[in-house]
Amino acid sequence: MRQPKSRRPHELDVLPRVTPLRRLERSRRVPRRTFVRLVAILGTAALALAACTGTSTLARSQLPEVSPSPVQVIDVALSDTLRIDPATMAVKLGEPVRFVVKNTATVDHEFFLGDAAAQDQHEAEMVSLGGAIPEEMDGMSVPAGSTKTIDHTFWSTASVYAGCHVRGHYQAGMRATITVAQ
Ligand SMILES: [Cu+2]
C-alpha cells in the first residue's frame, strides 16, 4: 500500500515545473483556442444571417400580413396574336388588384408584373437559362385555354409592365403598361 503515499501534496511540489497535469492543460489549450475561434466565426455568421433576416423582415413588414380582398378586378386576355389585352391598365397605389388572366390562345403564355429592368432581366434569363424569375417580379404562367388569377398590390408609382416571356413573345410586343396613380 505505498501507492497512495506518492499522491501526498508535499511530494507534488518537488515534481518538475511541467507536471503531467500542466502538460495536459497545455495540450488542451490549443483545441480550446480553436474552439473559441470557431465560436467567434459561427457568431459572426449568425450575426450576418440575423442581419440578412432582419433586412428581409423589414421589407416584408412593409407589405400587408394577409392578402386583403381586392379593391379592383381587371380582366385580362392573352391572345394568339401575342397581345395582352388591355394594353394599358390603370391601378391605384397601395390598393390590392386582382388580375383575372384568361389565355384565349392555343399556346401557353405568361403574365409577369415588373418594371422595365425586371422584364428585361426575365427575358434574358428565359432565353439563356430557361426561366429564372427576378425577385421583384410577380407573375405566373398561364397554359393555353386556362384562366388564372393573381392578386397584386403596387407600392410604387414607377411604371410597371405585364409581360409574357415565352420565347419570342415579349419581343413580339406581348406586354401591357400599368400606370400606378396615387
Ligand atoms: Cu406569350
Please determine, looking at this structure, whether the domain spanning 69-181 carries the CATH number 2.60.40.420: yes
If you write DSSP's letter for every residue of the chain in order, what string do you get?
Answer: --GGGGGSHHHHTTS-SS-HHHHHHHHHHHHHHHHHHHHHHHHHHHHHHHHHHHHHHHHHHTS-SS-PPPSEEEEEEE-TTS-EESSEEEEETT-EEEEEEEE-SSS-EEEEEE-HHHHHHHHHHHHHTS----TT-EEEEE-TT-EEEEEEE----S-EEEE--STTTTTTT-EEEEEEE-
Say whether pTM exceeds 0.75: no
- What's residue 126's pLDDT? 74
**Is pLDDT of 177 > 90?**
yes
The ranges assigned to domains in the chain are 16-52, 69-181
Residue with the larger pLDDT of the pair 3 and 125: 125
C-alpha 91 to ligand 1 mean position (Å): 22
- What's residue 125's pLDDT? 80
C-alpha 118 to ligand 1 mean position (Å): 17
Which of 48-57, 63-72, 110-119 is predicted least confidently? 48-57
- What's residue 131's pLDDT? 62
- What's residue 173's pLDDT? 97
Residues 29-42, mean pLDDT to the nearest whole number: 42
C-alpha 96 to ligand 1 mean position (Å): 25
C-alpha 92 to ligand 1 mean position (Å): 26
- What's residue 71's pLDDT? 85
- What's residue 70's pLDDT? 81
pLDDT in tens, 89-105: 999 999 999 999 999 99
